[in-house]
């Protein structure tokens, strides 16, 4: 099996797991951490171009695992996070990683946030080194060993 096919199957499995747990993933902390993760992955190279922003926003609002939340609320939180990163990437990154870290006390939510980051990172067919690095950083923020996700 080609490496990409293996990765695609892995993200499909993660998506299925998220959908199965969706009723447990309804807290505001999970919502906020998920949108922080999406923004970090989208801006992993230091900026978010408009096309990428639009694509990630579309993925967020149509992802069944996030369907407990109003799509416009998700989009607005994602956009707000992207704006923070655009204004001052390093400061915004610190703030968003702290937001992700708030799920540490709920391991199921923390794991789901990491899975969402991997799914978003691989959605374009290329989960690059910079995207993996921000997901690894998020893993450390929530106390999950990145090797569990082959990062």
Q: What is the pTM of this model?
A: 0.89
For residue 77, tell me if it sits in a domain. Answer: yes
Average pLDDT on 78-87 reads: 95
Structure confidence at residue 3 as a pLDDT band (50, 70, 90): low
**Residue carrying the six token digits 């996700």:** 149
Q: Residue 53 falls within a domain, yes or no?
A: yes
Mind listing the pLDDT tens digit for each residue in 98-142?
999 999 999 999 999 999 999 988 877 788 899 999 999 999 999
Q: How far apart are CA 36 and CA 78, in angstroms?
A: 7
User: With contact defined as beta carbons under 8 Å apart, do 97 and 40 qualify?
Assistant: yes
The number of angstroms, rounded, from the C-alpha of 15 to the middle of its chain's C-alpha atoms is 12
Query: What is d(CA 105, CA 11) in angstroms, rounded to the nearest whole number?
Result: 24
Contact 10, 121 (CB under 8 A): no
Check pLDDT > 70 for residue 4.
no
Query: Among the listed ranges 87-91, 96-100, 122-126, 147-151, which one has the minimum average pLDDT value?
Result: 122-126
Q: Assess if residue 139 is contained within a domain.
A: yes
**CA distance from start to end of the chain:** 19
The whole-chain average pLDDT of the chain stands at 89
Q: What is the mean pLDDT of residues 72-85?
A: 96
CA-based R_g, the chain, Å: 14
Question: What CATH number corresponds to the domain at position 120?
Answer: 1.10.3680
């Amino acid at each position: 099996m080609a490496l990409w096919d293996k990765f695609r199957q892995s993200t499909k499995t993660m998506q299925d797991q998220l959908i199965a747990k969706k009723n447990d993933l309804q807290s505001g902390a999970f919502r906020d951490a998920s949108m922080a993760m999406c923004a970090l992955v989208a801006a992993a190279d230091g900026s978010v171009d408009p096309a990428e922003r639009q694509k990630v926003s579309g993925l967020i609002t149509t992802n069944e695992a996030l369907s407990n939340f109003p799509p416009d609320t998700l989009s607005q939180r994602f956009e707000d996070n992207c704006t923070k990163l655009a204004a001052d990437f390093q400061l915004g990154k610190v703030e968003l990683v702290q937001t992700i870290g708030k799920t540490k006390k709920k391991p199921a939510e923390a794991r789901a946030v990491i899975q969402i980051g991997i799914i978003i990172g691989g959605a374009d067919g290329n989960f690059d080194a910079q995207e993996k690095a921000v997901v690894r950083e998020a893993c450390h923020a929530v106390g999950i060993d990145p090797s569990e996700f082959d990062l």
